[in-house]
Structure 1
Amino acid sequence: MQTTSDDVLIGRIAKGDRLAMQVLFARHHVRVYRFVLRLVRNEATAEDLISEVFLDVWRQAGKFEGRSQVSTWLLSIARFKALSAMRKRTDKELDDETAEAVVDTSDDPEVSLAKKNKSEVLRQCLTALSPEHREIIDLVYYHEKSVEEVAGIVGIPEATVKTRMFYARKKLAEVLKQNGIDRGWP
């Protein structure tokens, strides 16, 4: 069962095969969780959404048409759920008085760079990107999705994916340079 393709697993899940569901979950839950966590930035919410994603897979496996990879389908479901959850958020905004009372205990840039390795700095710099650009970078570089697959997941034309990638990389290069990293990634 471990070597069974995702497409075969989906077919078996559609017929109610619980073992196939367990294998699919074991194979993809970490990747989908990390993707959702990067969007919602809350571990508890991400865990709840992962449960919903795989519950949808269990219920909707028979509707999977195979026009994309199963992993792409999973990320599409996850993205939709994450965006819906973010729209429903009821977090209160800080008022000016409360925001001014918060003490900034963060290190200065030199100390931060001394403490972190380059990959941690890169992850930090990714937060400076817009959500749209961060999402594209995440799907392409962390989830190794093609431009075509990203277009399907996000629901935008491939040309738009390419444009967002261009501007995201440009902005990321600027932010990295501001943080003392100028090319030369070993």
Structure 2
Amino acid sequence: MKTEAELIDRILKGEWRHYAILVDKYEARVFNYVNYLMGNREDAEEIVQDTFVKAYRFLKEFRGDASFSTWLIRIAHNTCLTFFRKKKPEKVSLDQVDNRGTDDPDPSDNLDADNRQYVLKLALAKLKTDERSVVTLFYYQQLSLKEICDITNFSLSNVKILLHRSRKKLLEILKEMGVKQSTL
């Protein structure tokens, strides 16, 4: 198995078929990040595709200062921000949560893993883009604060503050939804 640096070198020398190895390695990770940020599978799939096209086009600009995965997530992050500027994302109101059908999980019940994911996704949709992004990068992508800084272009102190405020805001949203902290 070739290292990422070797793969990138070969791709830059015209052996573009090696790019599929990088796509296979990172596609799920990029999709998970984008999907949580967007809250919409169709938009997420489109953004993931755009991300990999952009990464391929600008691969010669990858300097290796950060890991390839961090560089790729940053492209995905910026692509999401561009998407949000062009098209306002759908917001989920608490009325929609209260008016769910009988088949939807009730957040006040004990939450199994699927229901927990559903409720968290609803709550994340209520956060601002930057808040949702930082929470997703930290908890779902399990990136370090430095990697989050590299992706978002925020200072370390801004990331820490944003993460702290986002957690508090997320807990308030979950409380409003009737979810007890002990069920998470």
How far did 1:169 drift?
1.5
Distance of aligned partners of 1:125 and 1:91 in 2 relative to their CA distance in 1, 3 Å threshold: closer
Aligned counterpart, 2:181: 182
AA in 2 matched with 1:182: Q
For the pair shown, the structure with the greater C-alpha radius of gyration is 1
AA in 2 matched with 1:145: L
TM-score when normalising by structure 1: 0.78
SS in 1 for 2:160: helix
How far did 1:30 drift?
1.5
Q: Is the Cα–Cα contact under 8 Å of residues 36 and 46 in structure 1 kept in the other structure?
A: yes
Aligned counterpart, 1:132: 130
SS in 2 for 1:68: coil
How far did 1:31 drift?
1.4
Structure 2 CA distance for aligned equivalents of residues 133 and 71 of structure 1:
21
Aligned counterpart, 1:85: 83
Structure 1 CA distance for aligned equivalents of residues 157 and 88 of structure 2:
34
Structure 1 CA distance for aligned equivalents of residues 21 and 51 of structure 2:
15
Q: Is the Cα–Cα contact under 8 Å of residues 14 and 60 in structure 1 kept in the other structure?
A: no
The alignment status of 1:39 with 2:33, answered yes or no, reads no
Q: Which stretch shows the higher mean deviation, 167-176 or 27-36? A: 167-176
Question: 1:36-115 residue pairs with structure 2 within 5 A?
Answer: 36-89=34-87, 105-106=99-100, 111-114=106-109
Query: What is the percentage of aligned positions where both structures have the same residue?
Result: 28
AA in 2 matched with 1:106: R
TM-score when normalising by structure 2: 0.79
Q: Is the Cα–Cα contact under 8 Å of residues 134 and 162 in structure 2 kept in the other structure?
A: yes
Q: Which stretch shows the higher mean deviation, 108-117 or 119-128? A: 108-117
Aligned counterpart, 2:164: 166
How far did 1:69 drift?
0.8
Q: How many residues matched?
A: 174
Aligned counterpart, 2:93: none
SS in 1 for 2:63: coil
User: Which 5+ residue runs of structure 1 have no aligned equivalent?
Assistant: 93-101
Q: Is the Cα–Cα contact under 8 Å of residues 53 and 77 in structure 1 kept in the other structure?
A: yes
Aligned counterpart, 2:16: 18
Q: Is the Cα–Cα contact under 8 Å of residues 39 and 125 in structure 2 kept in the other structure?
A: no
1:117 to 112, 127, 135: 112
Structure 2 CA distance for aligned equivalents of residues 184 and 44 of structure 1:
30
How far did 1:134 drift?
1.1
